[in-house]
Amino acid sequence: MNGRMIDVAIIGGGLAGGLIALALLRQRPELRLALIESGERLGGDHRWSWFAGDLSEEGDALLDSFRQSTWDSGYDVRFPQYQRTLATGYRSLSSADFAVGLTRLLPPEAIRLKCCASVLDAEGVTLASGERIPARAVIDCRAFEPSPHLTGGWQVFMGRHVQLDQPHGIERPVIMDASVDQLAPSGDNGAYRFVYVLPLGAHDVFVEDTYYADSPLIDRSALSSRLDAYCRRYGWEHGRIVGNEAGVLPVIDGGNFRAYRDSHRIAGVALAGARGGFTHPLTSYTLPIAVDNALAIAREVDLTGAQLAAFSEARARQHWNRTRFYRRLARMLFGAAEPARRRDIFENFYKLPEALIERFYAARSTPLDRMRIMLGKPPVPIGRAIGALASRGRALSQDAPA
């Protein structure tokens, strides 16, 4: 491909980059693309989930290209004094199935694995090998990088896929089992913790331990032990572990978004994905946002590289402004709420109307939704809430793992 002009070069073969590549080709099958990924496979090692009503008809059509796990009987949430089954269908996509789908749907010459991009500019990409890929437009979809310009904390998780000899009997996903103890791995009672359970088949279950914390460090030994304990609780301790994942996602409660974008801006290069700021600030759910962004970019496929960069910039600013409520809520929950009360706050949230909860996860809360969330007894003491909102927040450390 050295020296041959292509239409669009996409740097980063994760969720955002892969969906953009697929949406572009569905819009214009004749396009010449390069999807450049530094890893050994597309999609990394992750699982993305969403609610059945999160996507438009066009978004559902884009995701139909991939093998998914689907549950139409709703999902459960569990707290020490409260349990609820919500009727909304739930969907999940593994990175392995995402990679298989992209490999099948994209032209073989478009996928470039184990290729590290060393220089991006408005006219193309130079790989670490020295190869130059000229392109009419370049889209940077590389992973999120911690930045002193953003404030907040981290969502730390470790999951495992377990195969059992006997049926597990779980009918629906448990997207939040907060009946577990709230101690962080360090023993500090300062994080909100829950377990996430997906019945992937009659004998297959995915179990993930998740907690919110100030530090992005993963204590893999402690998390593995906690997963062991949870599996013992349900008689799954003798199952075969056939897959693992672990990671850290940003929980953004504020910052200077303009300065953040400026620190990552490359003239004439569009910035998308989590690095571009296209995430849910509080829940870290990204799939509905990534789908919407991919479809929006595909509709503007004929823009020049500089025009596409400006288009993406405008969408990022709109998204930042539209999600201000979630950042403020994150600041109050984790900067003002007493640690022992955080679980109670989430429990009260899940007593609200089901449609409100769906819109919350999709970052589409209405003004009335926001009022309902904040009505009644304040989730945190008023004085502490004001103090948290007025504070500068904790910078998302540069020392965080990639």
For the chain of 402 residues, list the mean pLDDT of each consecutive stretch of 10. 82 97 97 96 93 94 96 96 96 96 97 96 96 97 92 92 96 96 65 93 96 85 94 94 92 94 94 95 91 97 95 97 94 76 88 94 93 72 65 69 42
**What are the structure tokens assigned to 127, written together?**
């790989």
Please work out, in degrees rounded to the nearest 5, the angle formed at the alpha carbon of residue 95 by the alpha carbons of 203 and 74. Answer: 55
pLDDT number for residue 401: 44
Burial of 340: CB neighbours in 10 Å, binned 0-12, 13-18, 19+: exposed
User: For position 137, what pLDDT does the model report?
Assistant: 97
Backbone dihedral region of 111: left (phi > 0), alpha (psi from -120 to 50 degrees) or beta?
Answer: beta
pLDDT score of 269 = 97
Res 1: pLDDT? 47
pTM of the model: 0.92
263/252 Cα distance (integer angstroms): 17
Which residue, among 89, 21, 23, 107, has the nearest Cα to 51 in the 3D structure?
A: 89
Tokens for 171, please give them.
């009918």
- What angle do helix axes 382-390 and 324-335 make, rounded to 10 degrees? 120
d(CA 289, CA 276): 12
Provide φ and ψ at 230, rounded to 5°: -65, -40
Query: CA 125, CA 361: separation in Å to the nearest integer?
Result: 35
In the block, residue with structure tokens 């459960």: 76
